[in-house]
Amino acid sequence: MIYTVGPKLQYSRALAAVPPRNVKLGKNGDYPGGMVFETTAHAYTFLEDRGLTGTHRVFGLVGAVWLINTEPVDDRPFHRLLTDALLVELPR
């Protein structure tokens, strides 16, 4: 599992929808792919450094592997997701 960050309200609503909208999009056309992190610690640090811990959360991505399904971004603390992955809530 790898990790992503997103707005708490928006992502929680998407996961609670019927059917759930629980796919984090990978690279496709002009879209570079979602931001992803190798560990929850890296994701939380990203949120803390930007003052987003009140509005955003860390979520898991099932079926995505760091060294296979991501590519680095120059001078950024995250990678981009190359393939779609299943978004899941993490225990709090």
- Quote the pTM value: 0.93
The 3-state DSSP class for residue 35 equals strand
Please tell me the distance from the alpha carbon of residue 43 to that of residue 35, in angstroms, as a whole number.
10
Give 7-64 pLDDT, tens digit per residue: 999 999 999 998 989 999 999 999 999 999 999 999 999 999 999 999 999 999 999 9
| Cβ neighbours of 76 (radius 10 Å) | 10
Identity of the amino acid at 6: G
pLDDT on residue 92: 77
Distance, C-alpha 57 to centroid of its chain: 9
Please tell me the distance from the alpha carbon of residue 4 to that of residue 44, in angstroms, as a whole number.
10
pLDDT on residue 61: 97
Give 70-87 pLDDT, tens digit per residue: 999 999 999 999 999 999
